[in-house]
């Protein structure tokens, strides 16, 4: 018997780990072709059955199909996002196109769609449990949303649109990655006034690696960008960095405006084909919000109070500039710098001092310790399990009684091969359809690494530590899943629910109990806690403005004609404070043009509303580490995946619907309870 290529074999490493060291980029396209052919044969067997369609022979059979393809796909996307070598990048567009065509062909098969529809029609009379009924409904909805009911000619156009959109997404991401990597701020020692020593050490290490000893290189990674704008006393350099960051892919090299225009037009055309008023209506139909109007209502509830608070903050910062004899108007490259001064003078909060306590290895361990206290988990380093890069560490995850939970990979340090930002992904999802399959998840961030050999001692800002806890919340959602069917596992939930467990986890990193574990002095902890309320105008405007323009551009019928002009007009209509500016300009807004958040960036605010209300339950009980309450959160939220309606999961935990004012209280836009 011919031995299967490595990518097509079941993973047999420790704890089921993938064979990263044996993977070659050239192996992927042949493996995809074979794995897709295998799934096509599995689908043909489902369709060709002589027995009438039922849950087991149609829906469950679909869940079982494509197991090899899922392995190859997840492994490829892990590498293409976190270890995108030139060979991987060269085939990413082709992989995306093939997968899109394959997926569309399955949902457009009339025989398969008919079987799914028949099971759906009889679902309430077939003796199915609630988990199975929800799966049937989700599969049927997915088929319809993928065009299964369209006429043949319309199906052809739908498939062409999806293939083109996949290619545009890849192109958008490559442009952002290339533009980000192509720019360096090259400074001398006398340019570093105000910058933390840890940040300067990282910049010096970069320069040295490029043969520029004695220089300091700062990049357009968000870690460098936000830290530099917060601490650099050189206004001219802050402006230079801000303009470079916000002008990425905005004309000339790596221009993303043509990509945006075509993407918007195709999304609108696809929505029209399916009978939706627009892309936003299409996306939100299967979310908790349900409609663009509902999502917009939540955002507007925060927008005006946020703008009002931001105006107060801007006036205070301008007064500080004037007091110092600055002689200039507050600009976006000034805000973080002067806000940091306010925090130092008013709250005795020194961001540099906080950073000195937040070593990456200590923050990672604090996240593990928090999960141990809340959910009874243990994280054991497995040096015998290799990752896809030496920076990637493997962790065996068990319950307190040594019952296996899953495998976690952590990848926290910035590299040129990574896309920007931070994220969680799954290499294998939890399921129990044919036996207990434990999940394998990974976490990625882009923290600026301290020079070797002290990379583990990389220092984080409080916001970066919050990011680590946020992504760890996603990991717990994937690791603690306890469902039967793979498509309902872990984070495979509504987009405006998926950020709930991650936002929820952020609460612990700013708690007194966790901060004291880093050796943070009590006075500094008090300062951090008191300063939480400051700057909420800025933070709210940054978040909500991006969500509002995302919804608006995907609701408008003519935005694709000139998205640049549309964005400018929408920001003017909203009264966007010019001293703040968009956190994510459209040309580098990867969430909505190279990710799954198109028309759904609002979900961060929606999930934050759920998080704020859920965390108040812990505050009310007087112990944010209350084990019984945490285990209820684990059972009702983290373990359920998409096996039931997300609102039902929230009600099961909280005992009621979410309190709409909880988010306002959490953002200090109304008085606390």
Residue 189 buriedness (CB in 10 A; 0-12 / 13-18 / 19+): exposed
What is the H or E stretch that residue 154 is in? helix 152-181
Nearest to 667 by CA among 300, 302, 351: 302
What is the C-alpha to C-alpha distance for residues 479 and 410, in angstroms, rounded to an integer? Answer: 13
CB 194 within 8 A of CB 233: yes
Question: Which listed residue (417, 471, 499, 579) is catalytic?
Answer: 471
CB 204 within 8 A of CB 362: no
Characterize the bridge pairing of strands 404-413 and 440-447: parallel
What is the C-alpha to C-alpha distance for residues 430 and 385, in angstroms, rounded to an integer? Answer: 20
CA distances from 265 to 159, 268, 270 (A): 15, 5, 9
CB 605 within 8 A of CB 547: yes
Is the link from the previous residue into 453 a cis peptide, with omega within 30 of 0? yes
CA distances from 401 to 372, 472, 638 (A): 12, 22, 19
CB 392 within 8 A of CB 81: no
What is the C-alpha to C-alpha distance for residues 527 and 512, in angstroms, rounded to an integer? Answer: 11
What is the C-alpha to C-alpha distance for residues 228 and 236, in angstroms, rounded to an integer? Answer: 12
Helix (H, G, I), strand (E, B) or coil at 188: coil
Burial 343-366 (b: 16+ CB within 10 A, else e): bbeebebebbebbebbbbebbbeb
Residue 324, Cβ neighbours under 10 Å: how many? 10
CB 347 within 8 A of CB 531: yes
What is the C-alpha to C-alpha distance for residues 624 and 644, in angstroms, rounded to an integer? Answer: 27
Residue 55, Cβ neighbours under 10 Å: how many? 19
Per the annotation, the verdict on 471 as an active-site residue is: yes
**Which residues on neighbouring strands pair with residue 105, listed in sequence order?**
none
Enter the DSSP assignment of 213.
Answer: T
Strand order in the sheet with 393-399: 377-381, 393-399, 404-413, 440-447, 423-428
Helix (H, G, I), strand (E, B) or coil at 327: coil
What is the C-alpha to C-alpha distance for residues 474 and 423, in angstroms, rounded to an integer? Answer: 8
What is the C-alpha to C-alpha distance for residues 635 and 307, in angstroms, rounded to an integer? Answer: 38
Structure-block tokens of residue 272: 């029209």
CA distances from 368 to 22, 295, 373, 387 (A): 30, 34, 9, 19
Would you please indicate which residues are annotated as catalytic (active-site) residues? 471
């Amino acid at each position: 018997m011919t031995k299967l290529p490595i990518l097509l074999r079941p993973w047999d490493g420790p704890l089921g780990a993938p064979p990263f060291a044996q993977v070659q980029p050239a192996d992927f396209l042949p493996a995809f072709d074979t794995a897709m052919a295998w799934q096509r044969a599995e689908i043909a067997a489902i369709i060709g059955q002589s027995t009438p369609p039922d849950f087991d022979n149609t829906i469950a059979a679909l869940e079982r199909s494509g197991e090899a393809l899922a392995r190859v796909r997840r492994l490829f996307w892990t590498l293409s996002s976190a270890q995108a070598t030139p060979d991987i990048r060269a085939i990413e567009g082709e992989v995306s196109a093939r997968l899109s065509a394959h997926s569309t062909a399955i949902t457009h098969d009339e025989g398969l769609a008919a079987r799914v529809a028949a099971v759906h029609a009889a679902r309430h009379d077939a003796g199915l449990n609630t988990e199975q009924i929800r799966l049937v409904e989700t599969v049927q909805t997915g088929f319809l949303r993928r065009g299964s009911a369209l006429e043949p000619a319309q199906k052809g156009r739908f498939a062409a649109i999806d293939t083109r959109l996949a290619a545009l997404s890849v192109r958008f991401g490559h442009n952002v990655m290339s533009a980000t990597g192509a720019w360096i701020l090259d400074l001398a020692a006398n340019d570093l006034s105000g910058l933390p020593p840890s940040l300067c050490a990282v910049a010096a290490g970069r320069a040295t690696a490029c043969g520029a000893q004695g220089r300091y290189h700062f990049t357009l990674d968000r870690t460098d960008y936000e830290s530099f704008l917060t601490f650099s006393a050189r206004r001219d350099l802050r402006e230079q960095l801000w303009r470079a960051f916000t002008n990425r892919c905005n004309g000339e090299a790596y221009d993303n405006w043509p990509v945006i225009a075509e993407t918007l037009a195709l999304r609108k055309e696809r929505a029209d084909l399916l009978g939706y008023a627009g892309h936003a209506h299409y996306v939100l139909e299967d979310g908790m919000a349900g409609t663009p109007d509902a999502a917009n209502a939540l955002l507007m509830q925060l927008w005006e109070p946020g703008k009002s608070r931001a105006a107060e903050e801007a006036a205070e910062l301008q007064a500080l500039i004037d007091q110092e004899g600055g002689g200039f108007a507050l600009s976006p490259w000034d805000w973080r710098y002067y806000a940091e001064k306010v925090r130092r003078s008013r709250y005795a909060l020194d961001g540099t001092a906080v950073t000195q306590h937040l070593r990456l290895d200590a923050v990672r361990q604090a996240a593990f310790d928090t999960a141990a206290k809340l959910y009874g988990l243990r994280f054991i380093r497995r040096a015998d399990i290799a990752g896809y890069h030496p920076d990637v560490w493997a962790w065996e995850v068990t319950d307190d009684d040594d019952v296996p939970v899953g495998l976690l990979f952590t990848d926290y340090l910035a590299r040129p091969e990574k896309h920007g930002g931070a994220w969680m992904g799954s290499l294998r999802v939890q399921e129990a359809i044919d036996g207990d399959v434990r999940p394998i998840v990974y976490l990625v961030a882009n923290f600026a690494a301290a020079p070797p050999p002290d990379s583990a001692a990389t220092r984080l800002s409080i916001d970066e530590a919050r990011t680590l806890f946020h992504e760890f919340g996603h990991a717990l959602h994937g690791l603690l899943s306890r469902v039967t069917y793979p498509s309902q596992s872990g984070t495979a939930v509504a987009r405006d629910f998926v950020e709930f467990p991650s936002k929820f986890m952020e609460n612990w990193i700013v708690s007194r109990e966790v901060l004291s574990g880093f050796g943070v002095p009590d006075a500094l902890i008090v300062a951090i806690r008191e300063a939480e309320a400051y700057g909420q105008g800025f933070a709210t405007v940054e978040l909500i403005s991006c969500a509002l323009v995302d919804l608006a551009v995907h609701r408008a019928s003519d935005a694709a004609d000139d998205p640049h002009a549309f964005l400018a007009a929408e920001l003017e209509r909203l009264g966007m404070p010019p001293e703040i500016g968009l956190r994510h300009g459209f040309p580098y807004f990867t969430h909505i043009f190279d990710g799954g958040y198109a028309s759904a960036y609002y979900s961060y605010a929606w999930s934050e509303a759920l998080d704020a209300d859920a965390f108040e339950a812990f505050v009310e009980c007087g112990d944010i580490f209350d084990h019984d309450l945490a285990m209820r959160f684990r059972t009702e939220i983290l373990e359920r995946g998409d096996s039931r309606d997300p609102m039902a999961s929230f009600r099961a935990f909280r005992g009621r619907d979410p309190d709409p004012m909880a988010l306002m209280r959490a953002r200090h836009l109304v008085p606390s309870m």
